[in-house]
Amino acid sequence: MSKNMQTSLHINIHYTISHDVVLQDYATLAPGVHFSGHVHLGKIVYVGTGAVFINGSGEKPIMTGYDAAIVAGDCVTDSIPPNETWGVPAKPLK
């Protein structure tokens, strides 16, 4: 990484990050977020308090797109497109 490049993650308390999880720049994890495995968080993603990501797979990881938001208490079992906010249960909010 270049000396001029900066990256930033904001990770709060009481979280679990399991195997094969990728967190890109400027992601925010609120308290109590849990990743079971094979999850890729895009840039500028916000994950609310107590959200849980259930296992993706090596062939099909759970992906969150650029600037997506997952609200508190979500149980995420599928990929989330860029620029969307998903509610409880994890689905696009209208």
Measured between alpha carbons, how far is 90 from 71 in angstroms, rounded to an integer?
8
Tell me which of 9-13, 76-80, 88-92 is least confident: 88-92
Class of 10-81 in CATH: mainly beta
- What pLDDT is stored for residue 2 in this prediction? 52
- What pLDDT is stored for residue 63 in this prediction? 97
In terms of phi and psi (left: phi > 0; alpha: psi -120 to 50; beta: otherwise), the region of 37 is: left
Confidence tier at 88 by pLDDT (50, 70, 90): confident
Say whether 38 is catalytic. no
- Which residue in 19, 34, 38, 40 is the catalytic one? 19
User: pLDDT at residue 94 above 70?
Assistant: no
What's the whole-number average pLDDT of the chain? 90
Burial class (CB in 10 A: 0-12, 13-18, 19+), 5: exposed
- What pLDDT is stored for residue 1 in this prediction? 46
Full-model pTM: 0.86
> For the chain, what are the domain ranges?
10-81
